[in-house]
């Protein structure tokens, strides 16, 4: 029997479709999404780059403490009497003939080749010390900033991941409601033919089906948008898996609320505090620029006409003090600018702490209200479900109309969807509280693990 072979292009296309289908069939759990975001999220990558730049500044600040060495090479020719005699003296070529008045007054051009090795050692440099302190505090602030961006991204990923899962649950509720509404529509049409239902009952059932169908279309769009937002938080591109529908129980949410551990100080406050300390150190650096500096110096010179390093070198060792007595308007302006930035940072830190205290109170009040509403809706759902069951039984016994049955089913669906929305609001509030209280939002992954 002759075998059939697919063209190479078709085979590759089918392979790609199969691979993508297999990848999408894999569920994307919250822990995996958080790991991907830690590595690939745009905000996290930018924060790591800022920390790397700050580490470069911290390394450059060692310039005021580390000895430096440089090599100087120069070549010259001169017939200046003083310069020519000094060049011969440096080359150690002075003899009695060099003191001939004619040679001193009108010397021949003298070439010179100089090689020097110069080393400098900072001894006292207060502005460099404060500059190093400012760079260190700035590096620590960037480290807190990297951790803060990671936690912020984790909070957004947690919120987006639960948003996708709860949106899928809402879509499932609408699909169930649509199936029930269509069954009621069929019953109304059948009752119309048997003269047990009125024309208004049929119209009412059609309107309900159309309304639920429109809500289902919106729910599907909400799922797609939530998936796109989650994909963007994970670094762009398609999602590496599908987020399953989530049914968070109220007991799990209450357990997550009760087990919160308040740290007290947010990472943003710690970062702002370090930035304020860095600004103060920078002001001290600008202020200390008016103080004297003391450096050690060592110098070795080779001066020879024909070649480098042929004769014995000359050396010099000493201490050099420098004092910028009058720095001018630029120095005074830089000091005043640095002082203003420091005071601005201190005021900003105070304002941040006050704002975060208010935001914590607001979020906790919002959380308490959402939990109270969820408890009320839970009781309403029990009553609506029981009412729907009673109306269904009465309809089967001919004691209730199809319109009453449609209304009871619609009420139960609306309450279920309102509870899904409240659970999503609670998760978002918990993630924001985690940031404000300095906790890792990834701990909210336990909500789904306990579900």
Summarised one tens digit per residue, pLDDT across range 204-232 is 888 888 999 999 999 999 999 999 999 99
Q: Which fold has domain 27-65+125-290+330-450?
A: Outer membrane efflux proteins (OEP) (1.20.1600)
Calpha distance 190→204 (Å, rounded):
14
Q: What is the pLDDT of residue 23?
A: 39
For 190-194, what is the mean pLDDT? 83
CB-based contacts of 193, cutoff 8 Å, min separation 6: none
Partners of 319 in the β-ladder:
296
Of 119, 99, 115, nearest to 107 (Cα)?
Answer: 99
Report the SS3 class of residue 226: helix
Partners of 112 in the β-ladder:
76
User: Within the chain, what is the greatest distance between any pair of CA atoms?
Assistant: 143
**Residue 276 CB coordination number (10 Å):** 22
Q: What is the pLDDT of residue 17?
A: 38
Question: Per-residue pLDDT for 9 more than 80?
Answer: no
* Helices assigned H by DSSP within 41-125: 42-60, 81-90, 101-105
Q: What's the pLDDT band for 258 if we cut at 50, 70, 90?
A: low
What residues does CATH 1.20.1600.10 cover in the chain? 27-65+125-290+330-450
Residue-wise pLDDT for 374-389, tens only, equals 989 999 999 999 998 9
Q: How many whole angstroms from its chain centre is CA 407?
A: 48
Q: What is the pLDDT of residue 49?
A: 94
> Do 296 and 319 contact (CB within 8 A), yes or no?
yes
- Phi, psi (degrees; rounded to nearest 5) at 45: -65, -40
Higher pLDDT, 127 or 341: 341
> Do 40 and 239 contact (CB within 8 A), yes or no?
no
Calpha distance 36→236 (Å, rounded):
11
Name the DSSP class of 309: T
pTM of the model: 0.78
Lowest mean pLDDT, pick from 200-209, 358-367, 423-432: 200-209
Q: What's the pLDDT band for 347 if we cut at 50, 70, 90?
A: very high
Q: What's the pLDDT band for 309 if we cut at 50, 70, 90?
A: low
Report the SS3 class of residue 141: helix
Residue-wise pLDDT for 96-120, tens only, equals 877 778 877 888 888 888 888 899 8
Question: Per-residue pLDDT for 43 more than 90?
Answer: yes
- Mean pLDDT (the chain, rounded): 84
For 13-19, what is the mean pLDDT? 40
Question: Per-residue pLDDT for 255 more than 70?
Answer: no
> Do 158 and 440 contact (CB within 8 A), yes or no?
no
Calpha distance 430→448 (Å, rounded):
14
């Amino acid at each position: 029997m002759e075998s059939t072979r697919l063209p190479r292009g078709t085979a590759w296309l089918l392979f790609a479709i199969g691979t993508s289908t297999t990848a999408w069939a894999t569920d994307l759990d919250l822990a995996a999404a958080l790991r991907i975001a830690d590595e690939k999220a745009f905000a996290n990558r930018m924060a790591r780059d800022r920390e790397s730049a700050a580490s470069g500044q911290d390394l450059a600040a060692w310039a005021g403490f580390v000895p430096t060495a440089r090599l100087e090479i120069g070549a010259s020719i001169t017939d200046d009497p003083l310069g020519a005699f000094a060049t011969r003296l440096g080359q150690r070529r002075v003899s009695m003939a060099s003191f001939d008045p004619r040679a001193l007054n009108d010397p021949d051009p003298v070439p010179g080749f100089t090689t020097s090795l110069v080393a400098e050692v900072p001894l006292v440099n207060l502005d460099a010390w404060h500059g190093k302190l400012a760079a260190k505090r700035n590096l620590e602030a960037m480290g807190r900033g990297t951790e803060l961006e990671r936690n912020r991204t984790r909070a957004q990923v947690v919120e987006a991941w639960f948003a996708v899962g709860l949106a899928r649950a809402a879509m499932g509720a609408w699909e169930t409601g649509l199936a029930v509404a269509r069954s009621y529509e069929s019953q109304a049409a059948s009752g119309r033919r048997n003269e047990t239902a009125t024309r208004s009952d049929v119209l009412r059932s059609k309107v309900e089906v159309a309304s639920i169908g429109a809500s289902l279309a919106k729910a599907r769009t909400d799922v797609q948008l939530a998936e796109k937002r989650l994909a963007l938080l994970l670094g762009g591109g398609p999602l590496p898996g599908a987020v399953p529908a989530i049914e968070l129980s109220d007991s799990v949410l209450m357990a997550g609320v009760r087990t919160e551990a308040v740290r007290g100080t947010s990472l943003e406050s710690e970062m702002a505090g370090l930035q304020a300390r860095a600004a103060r150190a920078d002001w001290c650096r600008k202020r200390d620029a008016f103080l004297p500096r003391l450096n050690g110096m060592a110098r070795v010179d080779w001066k020879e006409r024909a070649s480098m390093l042929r004769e014995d070198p000359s050396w010099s060792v000493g201490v050099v003090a420098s004092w910028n007595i009058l720095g001018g308007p630029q120095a005074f302006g830089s000091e005043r600018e640095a002082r203003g930035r420091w005071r601005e940072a201190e005021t900003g830190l105070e304002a941040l702490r006050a704002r975060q205290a208010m935001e914590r109170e607001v979020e906790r009040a919002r959380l308490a209200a959402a939990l109270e509403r969820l408890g009320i809706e839970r009781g309403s759902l029990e009553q609506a479900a029981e009412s729907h069951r009673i109306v269904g039984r009465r309809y089967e016994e001919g004691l209730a109309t199809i319109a009453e049955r449609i209304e009871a089913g619609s009420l139960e669906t609306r309450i279920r969807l309102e509870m899904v929305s409240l659970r999503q609001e609670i998760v978002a509030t918990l993630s924001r509280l985690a940031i404000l209280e300095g906790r890792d939002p990834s701990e909210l992954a336990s909500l789904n693990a306990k579900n």
